[in-house]
């Protein structure tokens, strides 16, 4: 029997499940990624240390949702770019059209010396629980919404904890 410290993370499985749910229902799956030196994305599109990526079939080529990495090619301003995101850096996956999805707390390494408020206050080894994103503002009918964006610098989307 595998103990909880040896078990693989549930994060890649939940990402794949929500990706499949989005595509099965005709929604556009987006992932929010906390960017660090291991994340390979166009840096000019990173804002406040984060980037939101469209991972739909139409927006990507060669999408691979692995247990350790999410890899694909995508066009940014008409230029094809290789994207490589460690699964641990994905902080949310959601449907663009209605905001439904899941947010994940960041895994804090033992070498982390300081944490910004956006990285949460979880201690090393604390239990990680996914939270469900809920839409805060009402949506006007017939309008194709943009992905949720913070209204003020450093602001985060409202989250509702699901137990």
pTM exceeds 0.95 = no
> In the predicted model, what is the mean pLDDT of the chain?
77
* Domains and their CATH numbers in the chain: 11-108+127-161 (2.30.30.220)
Give the pLDDT confidence of 87-135 residue by residue, as tens digits.
Answer: 999 999 999 999 999 999 876 654 343 334 344 333 333 444 555 555 5
CB 147 within 8 A of CB 153: no
DSSP 9-49: PSHHHHHHHHHHHHHHTT--EEEEEE--TT-BS-GGG-BTT
pLDDT band (50, 70, 90) for residue 65: very high
CB 11 within 8 A of CB 87: yes
């Amino acid at each position: 029997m595998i103990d909880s410290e040896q078990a693989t993370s549930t994060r890649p499985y939940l990402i794949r499940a929500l990706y499949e749910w989005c595509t099965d229902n005709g929604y556009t799956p987006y992932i929010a990624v906390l960017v660090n030196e291991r994340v390979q994305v166009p840096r000019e599109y990173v804002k406040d240390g984060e980037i939101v990526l469209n991972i739909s079939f139409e927006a990507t080529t060669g999408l691979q949702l692995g247990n350790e990495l999410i890899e694909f090619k995508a066009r940014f301003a008409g230029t094809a770019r290789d994207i490589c995101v460690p699964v641990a850096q994905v902080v949310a996956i959601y449907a663009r059209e209605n905001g439904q999805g899941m947010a994940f707390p960041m895994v804090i390494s033992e070498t982390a010396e300081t944490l910004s408020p956006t990285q949460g206050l979880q201690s090393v080894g604390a239990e990680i629980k996914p939270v469900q994103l809920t839409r805060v503002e009402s949506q006007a009918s017939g309008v194709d919404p943009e992905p949720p964006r913070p209204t003020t610098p450093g602001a985060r989307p409202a989250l509702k904890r699901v137990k």
